[in-house]
């Protein structure tokens, strides 16, 4: 499963810039539909297109590994028990 670390990146950006940043602002700046961004952030295992990943990496000025983390299914199944 892929886990998106948008909340962590958003918290860091808010801290660095000293202001609150909404998902609406991120969506508009990155050129992603607000509902799509909400699903990426809130739905476990949500699948999105690579254009969205590219846009988010550009917005946060980060590498893909800063945005997305791979979690093996075995670990996911053990944590659900």
Residue 14's pLDDT band, with cuts at 50, 70 and 90, is: very high
Q: Which pLDDT belongs to residue 5?
A: 96
- Into how many domains does the chain fold? 1
HSE (side-chain half, CA atoms, 13 Å) at 63: 3
Residue 73's pLDDT band, with cuts at 50, 70 and 90, is: confident
Q: What is the CATH number of the domain that holds 30?
A: 1.10.260.40
Q: Which domain holds residue 31?
A: 2-80
At 1, is the secondary structure helix, strand, or coil?
Answer: coil
The H-assigned helical ranges of 18-72 are: 23-30, 34-42, 50-60, 64-67
Residue 32 in this model has a pLDDT that exceeds 70: yes
At 45, is the secondary structure helix, strand, or coil?
Answer: coil
């Amino acid at each position: 499963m892929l886990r998106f670390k948008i909340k962590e990146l958003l918290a860091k950006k808010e801290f660095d810039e000293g202001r609150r940043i909404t998902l609406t602002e991120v969506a508009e700046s990155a050129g992603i539909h607000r509902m799509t961004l909400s699903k990426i952030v809130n739905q476990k295992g949500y699948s999105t297109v690579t254009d969205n990943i590219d846009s988010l990496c550009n917005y946060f000025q980060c590498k893909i590994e800063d945005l997305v983390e791979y979690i093996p299914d075995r670990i996911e199944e053990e944590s659900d028990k």
